[in-house]
Amino acid sequence: MEILKDRIRKDGKVLNGNILKVDNFVNHQVDVKLFNEMGKEFKKRFNGYEINKIVTIESSGIGIATIVSQYFDFAPVVFAKKTIGGNFSQESYETKVYSYTKKQEYNVKISKEFINKGDKVLIIDDFLANGNASLGLVDIIKQAEATVVGVGIIIEKGFQEGREKLEKEGIRVESLAIVEKMEGNKIYFK
């Protein structure tokens, strides 16, 4: 998606070799107009597929998933939670996800009420790198006997193994921008 790649070239910052910071339009400040363009693009990429639910993981997946829903007939968005709050249902599907960025293992949970057997789920997230977060969501969706129609990603780090792991599970991955390598402050796309 050219306008996204241009924006990453303009506003993305490469930190410590492998971290791509896009927090002025994706995951701290959010450009909602650009998110709508992404929503349209995901609709094109998954056109003709039956999708009745959008699943993401808190926090930075929530904004894009909410906008994407508007292009899939307002399919309900369910966001997986990373910690147990006082009002979290005891009845949930759970899995563990290790975050390399935060160097921490999370319990990831979705209440059993919100993923039903037979659901056709589109997973949406901001980043795909090693694939741990997406694979955690796939695990939860399978526990619910629902189907993962595909994974839609804003930015994929093409030099990490996330796509390979997901495709090995037979899952279609659509990324709006695939970073092939980062050198100094320069970002190369596939």
**Residue 163 engages its own copies in binding (rule: CB under 8 A):** no
**Residue 19 engages its own copies in binding (rule: CB under 8 A):** yes
**Residue 59 engages its own copies in binding (rule: CB under 8 A):** yes
3-state secondary structure labels for all residues of 79-139: EEECCCCCCCCCCEEEEEEEECCCCEEEEEEEEHHHCCCCCEEEEEEEEECCCHHHHHHHH
**Residue 81 engages its own copies in binding (rule: CB under 8 A):** yes
Among 52, 107, 111, 130, binds its own copies (CB under 8 A): 111
> From residue 68, how far is each of 90, 105, 118, 119 by CA, in Å?
29, 28, 21, 17
Question: Residue 87 or 170: which CB sits closer to its own copies?
Answer: 87
**Residue 32 engages its own copies in binding (rule: CB under 8 A):** yes
**Residue 130 engages its own copies in binding (rule: CB under 8 A):** no
> From residue 52, how far is each of 18, 36, 84, 89, 178 by CA, in Å?
35, 19, 26, 23, 26
List of residues contacting its own copies (CB under 8 A)? 15, 19, 21, 23-24, 28-33, 35-36, 58-59, 62-63, 65-67, 69-70, 74, 76-79, 81, 83, 85-87, 89, 101-103, 110-111, 113-114
